[in-house]
Amino acid sequence: MEELTGTVLAGESFEPISGRVVVDDGRITAVEETETASTDIIVPAFVNAHTHLGDSVAKDAAVGLSLEEAVAPPDSLKHRKLAEADRADLVDAMRRTLQYMSETGTVSCLDFRESGVEGARALREAGESAGAEPFIFGSGDPSVLAVADGYGASGANDDDFADERAAAREAGVPFAIHAGEPDPTDIHPALDLEPDLLIHMVHAEQEHLDRVAEQSVPVAACPRTNSVLGVGRPPIRDLLDHTTVALGTDNVMLNPPSMFREMAYTEREFDVSAREVLRMATTAGAEIAGLDCGVIEPGRRAALTVLDGDSHNLAGTDNPVESVVRRATGRDVKRVLR
| CATH number of the domain where residue 314 is located | 2.30.40.10
Residues 13 and 146 in one domain: no
Residues 257 and 181 in one domain: yes
Counts for the chain of helices (H) and strands (E), in that order: 13, 15
Q: What is the DSSP string of 157-214?
A: TT---HHHHHHHHHHT--EEEEESSS-GGGHHHHHHT--SEEEE-TT--HHHHHHHHH
Note the pLDDT of residue 8: 98
Residues 312 and 236 in one domain: no
Looking at residue 45, the DSSP 8-state letter turns out to be P
Note the pLDDT of residue 75: 87
Given a contact cutoff of 8 angstroms between Cβ atoms, the answer to whether 179 and 239 are in contact is no
pLDDT in tens, the chain (338 residues): 999 999 999 999 999 999 999 999 999 999 999 999 999 999 999 999 999 999 999 999 888 889 999 998 888 998 899 899 999 999 999 999 999 999 999 999 999 999 999 999 999 999 998 888 999 999 999 999 999 999 999 999 999 999 999 999 999 999 999 999 999 999 999 999 999 999 999 999 999 999 999 999 999 999 999 999 999 999 999 999 999 999 999 999 999 999 999 999 999 999 999 999 999 999 999 999 999 999 999 999 999 999 999 999 999 999 999 999 999 999 999 999 99
Task: Please count the structural domains in the chain.
Answer: 2
Residues 20 and 141 in one domain: no
Residues 244 and 330 in one domain: no
Note the pLDDT of residue 62: 86
- Give the DSSP H/E element, type plus range, for residue 324: none
Domain final position from 272, 289, 306: 289
Residues 19 and 154 in one domain: no
Note the pLDDT of residue 74: 87
Q: Bin 161: left if φ > 0, else alpha if -120 < ψ < 50, else beta.
A: left
Long-range own/partner contacts, residues 172-175 (CB < 8 A, 24 or more apart): 173/145, 173/148, 173/149, 174/137, 174/149, 174/150, 174/288, 174/289, 175/150, 175/151
Residues 243 and 299 in one domain: no
Residues 208 and 304 in one domain: no
Residues 41 and 167 in one domain: no
Note the pLDDT of residue 199: 98
Residues 227 and 330 in one domain: no
* Separation of alpha carbons 289 and 135, rounded Å: 7
Range(s) of the domain holding residue 41: 2-45+293-337
> Which residue from 270, 178, 164, 175 is spatially nearest to 220, judged by alpha carbons?
178
Residues 261 and 116 in one domain: yes
Residues 221 and 321 in one domain: no
Note the pLDDT of residue 6: 98
SS3 319: coil
